[in-house]
Structure 1
């Protein structure tokens, strides 16, 4: 069975999607539709902009979403997925390719998500840190021990790689304790806020309204969602999990393990970069990985 997986924010690069635009009439049509929906030519920034322009909040998340979804939709029929999953932002891409969301609605939600997250970051500063070579359970135990500050395991990416998130004081204190507990590295990340932590509650509440006003359909294949790492086909469950996602952990390791347990033998990364292929291989070296 074939699993399509979709990357999140951080995978972007200047030039992404230009080959699709130039060589596929479908891709060109979808990119132009996106320009119209967003009200600015995101393609100009994606194809010929600067790194700084591409890092703008209103650009980054829609850009990764567009490259991911359009690359999957332009794939040949024999490479359609039996299951999908996306890392953080990538979950929206997974929902569109699984036909739980329309392309247009998916893009609108991604843009709303980006702007809501930016506002939450400005209202309550926070940060994130990568913890290398420490057991997931130990990371979560240390995060839970930080009194008076917000600190949680935000991204459980693969064995030995967890990203924590929270207030600056909480994450800095946790990093000290992680090193004392044997972590090889505890490195603060250059990010704009405490993603996938309780500090994103204002963004979650704002996005909840947008999600509840969007039509979801039963997907054509199971979607393994971040919050619980299990397969979902109920539109009601999918919406509830998507609403919870912004303040919950991305359980990527368990998602991949569950997809493999349910029959996935090949993982196809749709979108910019190859980060997810590397994570999948670290989770299980026996499965095949490739990018579109």
Structure 2
């Protein structure tokens, strides 16, 4: 069975999507539609912008979404998923790819999500850190014992977690994690504490937009970051997406459940190849590849 997976923030690169634009009239139409929906020329930034311009959250998130969803759409009949999943932002890409969301609705949600997250970051200075070489439960316990807000935010693969929270609390947790034997506990160059309670203002803002968007029955199940199990009910998908911003990304558990349900072949759709690497670290026997035109 084929599982198609969609990357999140951090996979952007200069010139992203230009090959799609030049190879397909359908891609041209979708990029043009995206410029109209967003009200600015994101295509120009994706194709010609600097790395710094692409790092702006309000650009990064829609750019990665567009690269992923447009690639899935122009693949045509070769895009035949038995199941899908997306890492954080990638979950909205996956929901467009499996036809739960219309392309323009998905793009509007991504843009609102980006702006809401940016605003929450500015209101509460915060950060994230990658932790390597410790069991999940040890990281969770140390976060729970640390003064202030710090939580496990991304379960990327066994031995690789990301923690998220207030700057002082994350720094203190990093020191404690190193003492507990972490190979590394390294601050990440991000704007704030994604997938933590500090994203509550963004979650509330995005919830209204999600509730006002039409979710239809998907073409195949999605394994969502919050639940980790196969979901096909539009109302349940909608509810899980609302809680995604403040809940951890349970990528390890999602991939394990996809494999348990029959996935043998994982195809990464969008920029970068981070998810292929994570899938291999979760299960070496899984086949992985990059989606191409």
* Partner residue in 1 for 2:172: 173
- Aligned structure 1 segments of 4 or more residues deviating by more than 2 angstroms: none
* Partner residue in 2 for 1:197: 196
Report the Cα distance in structure 1 between the residues aligned to 2:78 and 2:188, rounded to whole angstroms: 39
How far has the Cα of 1:141 moved from its partner? 1.1
CA deviation map 1:203-247 (0-9, x unaligned)? 000000000010100111000000121111111111110000000
* Partner residue in 2 for 1:136: 136
* Partner residue in 2 for 1:110: 110
How far has the Cα of 1:61 moved from its partner? 0.2
Report the Cα distance in structure 2 between the residues aligned to 1:137 and 1:230, rounded to whole angstroms: 21
Report the Cα distance in structure 2 between the residues aligned to 1:231 and 1:171, rounded to whole angstroms: 32
Report the Cα distance in structure 1 between the residues aligned to 2:76 and 2:137, rounded to whole angstroms: 41
Secondary structure of 2:266's partner? Answer: strand
CA deviation map 1:78-133 (0-9, x unaligned)? 33111000000000000000100000000000000000000000001100000001
Report the Cα distance in structure 1 between the residues aligned to 2:132 and 2:122, rounded to whole angstroms: 28
How far has the Cα of 1:76 moved from its partner? 3.6
Q: Where in structure 1 are there 5+ consecutive unaligned residues?
A: none
Once superposed, what is the RMSD of the aligned Cα atoms?
Answer: 0.7
How far has the Cα of 1:65 moved from its partner? 0.2
Q: Where in structure 2 are there 5+ consecutive unaligned residues?
A: none
CA deviation map 1:262-292 (0-9, x unaligned)? 0001000000000000000000111110111
Report the Cα distance in structure 2 between the residues aligned to 1:145 and 1:230, rounded to whole angstroms: 29
Report the Cα distance in structure 1 between the residues aligned to 2:208 and 2:79, rounded to whole angstroms: 35
Secondary structure of 2:245's partner? Answer: helix
Report the Cα distance in structure 2 between the residues aligned to 1:43 and 1:76, rounded to whole angstroms: 22
Secondary structure of 1:165's partner? Answer: strand
How far has the Cα of 1:49 moved from its partner? 1.0
Report the Cα distance in structure 1 between the residues aligned to 2:49 and 2:122, rounded to whole angstroms: 25
Secondary structure of 1:152's partner? Answer: strand
Report the Cα distance in structure 1 between the residues aligned to 2:157 and 2:290, rounded to whole angstroms: 19
- Report which stretch shifted further, 52-61 or 218-227: 52-61
Report the Cα distance in structure 2 between the residues aligned to 1:203 and 1:45, rounded to whole angstroms: 25
How far has the Cα of 1:57 moved from its partner? 2.2
